[in-house]
Structure 1
Amino acid sequence: MDQKIEKATVLRPNDVIDYADGGIVSKEFAHSQAGSITFFAFDEGQGLSEHSAPFDATVQVIDGEAEVRIDGVAHTVKAGEMIIMPANHPHALHAHQRFKMILTMIRG
């Protein structure tokens, strides 16, 4: 789905982004000096390798479930749940099954 995300309108996060077979899809919803909000859809078997970021980041799973590793500890985060990945701590994501998430990064 390639819809424009309009501000000041009600939206359903699961409808904003679609899965891609064998891939990861991302769509930035908002971006400013204060931070960003990005929608992601991961196909089964996909993920993001371990890295760290200089800011806290919140992962809110909106479909399926994700494995989120923080400092080497695996956390299963299911639809309707969220986890905060602390700044400067190594983290990674893996899709044992398809999942969608909203990533919110706050700078500062």
Structure 2
Amino acid sequence: MENSEVEKSKFFIIVEIIEYVPNSVVIKTIIKKTTGNVSVVSFDSGEVLSEKTSPFDTFIQVIDGQAEIVINDESTILEIGQAIIIPAHARNSIKANVRFKMISTIIKSGYEDMSLNTF
């Protein structure tokens, strides 16, 4: 499946730019830069993104359905419109008890400034 960015300067309805595919997790890139990326993701019911960690904070917002986000073994259910930040280096997984769509935003810049503030 094509994973190109959406066309710039053209409006779109975020929940409509990605479809559900049976037994799948589908990712559509909205914008991708070296400093971070924004993607919309659809999960069919029963799908799971296995536990992982990321060196960056990840912002997740549910735009359709309901998601289960597990961060360091603590589960949170998110409904449409709700969001959560998965902290950098935290163990996390994403589960679709029912099908859902989400926006995932990762910002990779700015972390280097944080090390300057530690003494």
The residue number in structure 1 matching 2:31 is 30
Question: Within the alignment, does 1:39 sit opposite 2:40 as a pair?
Answer: yes
- Higher strand proportion, which one? 1
Helix, strand or coil at the partner of 1:80: coil
The residue number in structure 1 matching 2:105 is 104
Query: Percent identity over the alignment?
Result: 35
Question: Within the alignment, does 1:83 sit opposite 2:76 as a pair?
Answer: no
Matches within 5 A, 1:50-89: 50-89=51-90
The residue number in structure 1 matching 2:116 is none
Q: State how far apart, in whole Å, the 1-side matches of 2:66 and 2:9 are.
A: 29
Residue 45 of structure 1: how far off its partner (Å): 0.1
Gapped runs of 5+ residues in structure 2? 110-119
Q: State how far apart, in whole Å, the 2-side matches of 1:7 and 1:75 are.
A: 34
Runs (4+) of structure 1 moved beyond 6 Å? none
Equivalent pairs, count: 107
Q: State how far apart, in whole Å, the 2-side matches of 1:9 and 1:19 are.
A: 23
One-letter amino acid of the counterpart of residue 7, structure 2: E
Residue 66 of structure 1: how far off its partner (Å): 0.3
Gapped runs of 5+ residues in structure 1? none
Q: State how far apart, in whole Å, the 1-side matches of 2:86 and 2:10 are.
A: 29
TM-score norm. by structure 1 comes to: 0.94
- Higher helix proportion, which one? 2
Find the structure with the greater CA-based Rg.
Answer: 2
Residue 4 of structure 1: how far off its partner (Å): 6.7
TM-score norm. by structure 2 comes to: 0.85
One-letter amino acid of the counterpart of residue 88, structure 2: A
Is the CA contact 2:5–2:32 (under 8 Å) kept in the aligned structure 1? Answer: no
Residue 9 of structure 1: how far off its partner (Å): 2.2
